[in-house]
Amino acid sequence: MKHPLHPALVHFPIACWVLASLADFGGLGWHPEWLWPVSAGLAALGCILGLLAAGAGMLELTKLDGEHPAGRTAMWHMTLALTTWCLFAGSLVVRMRGVTPLPPDALVLALDGAGLVGVLATGWLGGTLVYVHGVGVGRREG
């Protein structure tokens, strides 16, 4: 494959998780009943799309040989990405009563906040992989 799929897919779970977190934090002051299902839906969609992005990332990781200078950074990137996924999945589980989403409590907001930090750190490491180590970047001959 000439163009890696992982960088194209990661934008979708990131957008879903950021919007879900913004809805949770933004809705604190006025408690709209319609906002909690939207927020939970975005979190769930982010988790589903995050699995697709993770799968594509695992395929990209197999292209790095054991001696590649980006190997350590790639492992940290993957570890933080999976931790971030777990934070948002945990937020989703905690906020649900059966199939009914509840307003976010302190634990949900803490998981959202930690997940947002995870998204930023994971993105930073992903940028390091591309812009410092050149992972997934095609080299032109000529």
Which positions ≥6 away from 76 have C-beta within 8 Å? 125
The pLDDT of residue 44 is above 80: yes
Which positions ≥6 away from 75 have C-beta within 8 Å? none
pLDDT tier for residue 135 given thresholds of 50, 70 and 90: confident
The pLDDT of residue 69 is above 60: yes
* Residue 83, both tokens: 């931790």
d(CA 54, CA 112): 19
State percent of the chain over pLDDT 70.
96
pLDDT tier for residue 31 given thresholds of 50, 70 and 90: confident
Task: Quick: pLDDT tens for 70-107.
Answer: 999 999 999 999 999 999 999 999 999 999 999 999 99
- In the three-class reduction of DSSP (H, G, I as helix; E, B as strand; rest coil), residue 96 is classed as strand
Task: Quick: pLDDT tens for 8-21.
Answer: 999 999 999 999 99
pTM over cut 0.85: yes
Q: Say if residues 24 and 112 touch (Cβ distance below 8 Å).
A: yes
| pLDDT averaged over every residue in the chain | 92
User: Rounded mean pLDDT of 108-126?
Assistant: 97
Write down the pLDDT at residue 127.
Answer: 94
